[in-house]
Every structure is written in C-alpha cells, then in structure tokens.
Amino acid sequence: MKKLSSFFLSCFLLLCFSVSLTGCAKDFITGKKTFNFYSTGSDVELGRIVIKQQLKALEAQNKAVDREADSEELKRIRKIVKRIAAVSHIPSFPYEVHLADLDVVNAWCAPGGKIMVYTGLWQPRKGLVQKGNDDEVAAVLAHEISHATARHVTEMISQISTIQIVGEVAASVIAGAGAPEGSNMFREIFYGGVNIYIPSYSRKNESEADAVGIMYMAHAGYNPQAAVNLWERAAKESKSDKTSIFASHPSSGERAAALKKLLPKAMEIYRATKK
C-alpha cells in the first residue's frame, strides 16, 4: 500500500501544475459551475495511470487480458462502450475498455474513460449480468462511464483539500488511505495474487451515476428496463465479497425503485432510437 500511495503521490504532485487556481470547472452533466481543481486533461492522465498499473498487476500474475481472456466478449463490450461514449456528456475522452479473466463480479471506469471489466461479471452462478445480453452489460457500463463524465473522483479530491495540499490528499484518496468512509477512492484489494483496484463512491454520486447512466444507455439504443432488472436482482445478492459489484455499489431495493421512476423518460428516449 505504501508503494501504491507513493506512486500516486508522485503522479499527482506533477498533475498539480495543471490545477486551476480558482477551483471552478464546468459540470458537464448539469452545465453549471462545480468545484474541481483539476482539468479534464488531468482526469485523463489519472485514468491512464490507474489502468496502466492495473494491467501491469494482471500481467505480473499471468492473468489473461483482452483477447486472451475472451475475444468475443471483448468485441461486444468495445462496441457497447463506443456507442455509449458517443452519446455521453464528454465524448472526447479517450475511452478504452479492457477485459480481464478474473472471477470478480465487477467493472469500473477510471477518470478520463479508462474501463476495466472482469469476466466474473457474467459468471453463471454469482455474476450480475447474463452473458450475451447487451442491454444488461450496457446498464453496467453506462453507469460506470457516468462516474467519469460526472468527474466524481477529482471533484471529491478537490472538495476535501486545498490548493496547497491537493497532491497529498489526492494520493491518500486514490490509494484508499485516510479518506472519509464512503468518499471517492480507489481501494487496492488483494485478490487471487493480483492487486486489483475497485473505486468506491458516495451514495449521492452513485445515485447520479444511476440517473445519468440509464439515460446514456437509452440514447445509445439499449433497453433501460435492463438497469432496473439488474438492481432488483442485485438487491437479493450477498455483499460479503468486498471485491464484488454488490459491495462496491449500493444494491438495495431503493436503488431499483429510483431507477423505476426514471424508466418512463428513459423508455421514451429508447423507443425514439428505434424509429
């Protein structure tokens, strides 16, 4: 953990040179001003660092990645990400998605649009989505992409820090040390010999990603009913495995209920894409 913290600290101290002196930035979701020290370019750089380290950790343990993991599913998720990214609030992010052969029921999107999906997401026994169901996969990926376009990670870093100490605070938040419970962070979890990174978000940010994500998938031509189905199913699953999406994403019945309220609007958008 110290090694990871030092790495991110060094990177963020460099990124601090690109920090805005005012802390004001545009919220691409609402169009209003928001408090964020970082430029979107810094989000992209952070995402590049995170995905590079994750791929390096997987390679060190000889885990199959991308085509070696599952070429057909990689092709599927790349197509889905491309469609969702195109209708997102920040289509200019350099989106990319990787698939790792781990029985971890999870997927995440780092700042700037770097996405990791684990094959366990559609595991027959304990997975969340049905393998081959584009709508359900899109529901997960649209939610994760929404965290990136809402810039949740760098917003949270900015909110709990000052311009003088933003580098140090950023490092502790990303490494998962010393950050308030429930705040945005990347937690390093040791799983099957691999250090995997799992982001954790506040309830407010999860709700926003749900609301934005269901609209993204609808605009991209994926049935938003799948999002409701997923989280109704997730509400019945165990949260004991801290690496799973059930633990890293609140999965109570309230979440599915909130999505149901958004469903009429989302379905209207979805039907319009089919005309």
Domain edges within the chain: 2-202
Contact indicator for 253, 235 with CB cutoff of 8 Å = yes
Spatial neighbors of 242 by CB under 8 A, at least 6 apart, are: 189, 198, 248
Q: Supply 273's token pair.
A: 């894409």
Instruction: Give the integer Cα–Cα distance in Å for 266 and 199.
Output: 26
Query: Which tokens go with 79?
Result: 């197509």
Per-residue model confidence (pLDDT) at position 29: 84
pLDDT tens across 35-57, in order? 777 788 888 988 888 898 899 99
pLDDT at 27: 76
Name the residues annotated as catalytic. 144
Q: What is the pLDDT of residues 96-150, one digit of tens each?
A: 999 999 999 999 999 999 999 999 999 776 778 988 899 999 999 999 999 999 9
Indicate if the pLDDT at residue 72 is higher than 90.
Answer: yes
pLDDT value of position 161: 58
Average pLDDT over every residue of 233-256: 75
Residue 7, pLDDT > 90, answer no
Taking CA 258 as the corner, what is the angle to CA 128 and CA 139, rounded to the nearest 5 degrees? 35
Instruction: Express as a percent the part of the chain with pLDDT over 70.
Output: 78
pLDDT of residue 33: 73
Strand duo 96-100 + 24-26: pairing: unpaired
SS3 81: helix
